[in-house]
Structure 1
Amino acid sequence: MKHPRRCSFHQAGVQARRATRRFVPAAYKVEIQGPNGSSTIEVEEGETILQTALDQGIELSHDCKMGVCMTCPAKLVSGEVDQSAGMLDDTAKEKGYALLCVSEPQSDCKVAVIEEDEILEEVLCSSK
């Protein structure tokens, strides 16, 4: 039995292309407004605003880094973040409150650092 003639991709007119695109995770610009002015950072997908800011030498109040202690509060001025890993309830999130230690940007955004008392009052008073 005779096998059909085999040909290479090149002979068949198909050119192999070398993959030139590299996967680059999305990064979002985040403007952080604080008491000492504002800074803009780029936060890569899957990273939190707090950790990226700390890595870039921006000092922000924090403690547990798990969204529990509420020492890294901010108001989301614009944009969108995923903070599902934190303990803020939906009411606080709808009012724009965010915990920077668990806030992963989903778009370019702007956050204003606030006093811890403001978020504690919101969370404790709204839970009554």
Structure 2
Amino acid sequence: MNIEQALKRGAELKNKEIRIESASVVSNKLILTLENHSIIGDDISNIDELKDIPHNLLQKIEVIGFGGTIHIPETDVFISVDGLMQTLLSKISLAKMRSIVAKANGSARSEKKAKASAINGIAGGRKKVALA
């Protein structure tokens, strides 16, 4: 595979997979900013590949490979973003995931809904539907 093909393949994968824009270590937490501007993180002690690395080396963490890998210079630690995301997300319960998605989709109590609810309350509640 020549360099042009490799770059083309990398660009194609960039559009299909989770990619990291930046990675940092703050107060013993790994913080990842994704390309969609979401932020996810976890305690370093919960990430097997990172928990035994000295703090001064963790501070040098970098993103490589079109945002698909994080690397700690001066070590041979390379972590796949896909594998790391599976590990991080597997700790979140289904109820918590639903909550996160619902929050991202917007409020269930908008001003318009609150106003309609107040009007319905004054009128004695929702209109009764006749059963067939």
Q: Per the shorter chain, which TM-score range? A: under 0.3
When normalised by structure 2's length, the TM-score is 0.24
When normalised by structure 1's length, the TM-score is 0.25
In proportion to residue count, which structure has more strand?
A: 1
In proportion to residue count, which structure has more helix?
A: 2
